[in-house]
Amino acid sequence: MPPRTLTYPAYIASLLDTGAKRMAAGVRMDCTSQGQCPRSCHLCHMSPRAAQGRQQSEPVLLQITKAAPIYELVSNNETYQALQEAMMSMLWCSGKGDVIDDWCRCDSSAFGTDGLPTCAPLTQPMLKLSYTYEPSSSLVIMEWNHTEPPIGVRIVDYLISQEKVTERTDHSKVETETLLSFVDDILSGARSPCVMLGDIPNLLSSSVSMIIRCLEPDTTYMFRLWAVDNTGRRSRPSEVTIKTPCPTVDDVKAQEIADKIYNLFNGYTSGKEQQTAYNTLMDLGAPTLHRVLYHYNQRYESFGEFTWRCEDELGPRKASLILSQLDELSPWCKGLLQEPKIGLRRMSLKFLSCRYTDTKAFGLNWSDMGQDVHKACDEQTLTVMYNDYGEPQELDLNVISFGFFVVS
């Protein structure tokens, strides 16, 4: 019986029929025509088809490729180890160093101009405003997530910068700058009277939050955050720019003072009553004075407008000193203070008040930091006040204004 001729594609297909799927898996065949044989090629014309004067043979190129895992191509332990080291270097050290335990030993070419190693990527932390608490006129809450890879980088600190922007149109112009270390200044409780801890990382969350106080109302601030690794290298900064809300006012108290001033001005005003009215109005501050003026004119304008009554009862000089305070606010805040109703909300905010502690004593294990920090910090509550501008029955956010801006 003559031997059976079996083409290679047919052979591969037969493997699938016989159950040898692993051998055939990943095999790809591609047949492409290479054109007809030239007449000058004597080998092509030696075929039986050419001898009988029939159509000449057409060469075909059969390309066969098979996908295989890299580890199957490694034939010895030395090659396997070299391949593993190269893959680890590419994964954790940007291909410019070797992985030693859980850190990167950088090549000589992977150092910056400051002499610090740069082969292990240092992730930029993302600073953001708290989603839970809105900024007040003197306080904001900033958050970020603490993340670091298992190999290559060890974050040992964060640097927080606070800048007061003085030029409304140019955020690069700053008046004051404060730079704090999260570990040395805030976590240790050494030098942070206006910055307090909120949340700290634990086994369930990697969130870090800080409460920043002592801010001025209606003022633009720029906050920056850097991560610092164990070599002293800083990450690229993450930045948030925010304008704090207008000063908070107690509208109920402003109505009471408006009634008091009317009673002092009504009828004959003695020298003692004049001095009492003058001292009361001078101690109010610009926001409350605006509301006193508003309520006085709403109720008693028929007896004389507020500014005219001040000049008439107290004299032009004292009235000028009182009324000059009205110009201390921006047009935006003046507009909000003309709302018919201004509500006052109080919110309790928990924070950690830390005594001075040597943070190096507990080794900065970020995932288990909570237990150690709570030993040196007391949980306390801070009352924060907010104003809502608008009628209370209209709870639509399009009607009630909270009065703060975040600038991206």
How much is the mean pLDDT over the chain?
Answer: 79
pLDDT at 221 (0 to 100): 93
What's the average model confidence in pLDDT over 15-27? 58
pLDDT at 405 over 90: no
Query: How far apart (Å, rounded) are the C-alpha atoms in residues 172 and 370?
Result: 37
Q: Are strands 97-100 and 238-243 parallel, antiparallel or unpaired?
A: unpaired
Region 19-33 average pLDDT: 63
Rounded mean pLDDT, 290-314? 91
Name the residue with higher pLDDT: 79 or 279: 279
Q: Using 50, 70 and 90 to split pLDDT, how confident is the model at 395?
A: very low
Residue 408 has pLDDT above 50, yes or no: no
What pLDDT does residue 396 have?
47
Task: Give yes or no for residue 401 having a pLDDT over 60.
Answer: no
- Distances in Å between the Cα of 141 and the Cα atoms of 58, 120, 189, 208, 332 are 77, 31, 18, 10, 23
Share of the chain above pLDDT 70, in %: 70
* pLDDT for the residue numbered 282: 93
Residue 237 confidence (pLDDT):
93
Quote the crossing angle between the two packed helices 306-314 and 316-323, to the nearest 10°: 140
CB 349 within 8 A of CB 133: yes
Distances (CA, A) of 366 to 195, 196, 201: 20, 18, 6
pLDDT at 400: 41
Burial (CB < 10 A; 0-12, 13-18, 19+), residue 296, is: buried
Which band of pLDDT confidence, cut at 50, 70 and 90, is reported for residue 80? confident
The pLDDT of residue 55: 59
Q: Which of 177-181, 199-203, 205-209, 243-247 has the highest mean pLDDT?
A: 243-247
State the pLDDT at residue 15. Answer: 61
pLDDT in tens, 136-185: 999 999 999 888 888 888 888 999 999 998 765 555 555 567 888 888 88
| pTM of the predicted model as reported, rounded to 2 decimal places | 0.71
Closest listed residue to residue 194, CA positions, set 219, 172, 216: 216
pLDDT band at 220, cuts 50/70/90? very high
Distance CA 347, CA 341 (A): 20
Q: Report the alpha-carbon distance of residue 161 to residue 241 in Å, rounded.
A: 11
Task: Tell me the per-residue pLDDT of 329-380, one tens digit each, with 9 for 90 and over.
Answer: 999 999 999 999 999 999 998 888 776 655 554 456 776 666 667 677 788 8
β 238-243/174-181 pair status: unpaired
Pick the most confident of 79-88, 257-266, 360-369, 396-405: 257-266
Separation of alpha carbons 233 and 226, rounded Å: 10
Q: Among 36-40, 46-50, 162-166, which is the least confidently predicted range?
A: 46-50
Q: Do 184 and 127 contact (CB within 8 A), yes or no?
A: no
Range with the lowest mean pLDDT among 5-9, 114-118, 129-133?
5-9
- What per-residue confidence (pLDDT) applies to 24? 58
> What pLDDT, in 10s, does the model give residues 226-252?
999 888 889 999 999 999 999 999 999
**Tokens 């306390």 belong to residue:** 380
- The pLDDT of residue 329: 92
pLDDT bracket for residue 43 (50, 70, 90): low
Of the two residues 332 and 266, the one the predictor is more confident about is 332
Write out the chain in H/E/C secondary structure: CCCCCCCHHHHHHHHHHHCCHHHHCCEEEEEEECCCCCCCCCCHHHCHHHHCCCCCCCCEEEEEEECCCHHHHCCCHHHHHHHHHHHHHHHHCCCCEEEECCEEEECCCCECCCCCECCCCCCCCCCEECCCCCCCCCCEEEEEECCCCCCECCEEEEEEEEEEECCCCCCCCEEEEEEEEHHHHHHCCCCCCCEEECCCCCCCCCEEEEEECCCCCCCEEEEEEEEEECCCCECCCEEEEEECCCCCCCHHHHHHHHHHHHHHHCCCCCHHHHHHHHHHHHCCCHHHHHHHHHHHHHHHHHHCCHHHHHHHHHCHHHHHHHHHHHHHCCHHHHHHCCCCCEEEEEEEEEEEEECCCCHHHHCCCHHHHHHHHHHHEEEEEEEEEEEEECCCCCCCCCCCECCCEEEC
pLDDT at 95: 87
- For the cut 70, the answer to whether the pLDDT of residue 96 exceeds it is yes
pLDDT at 370: 66
Residue 361's pLDDT is: 46
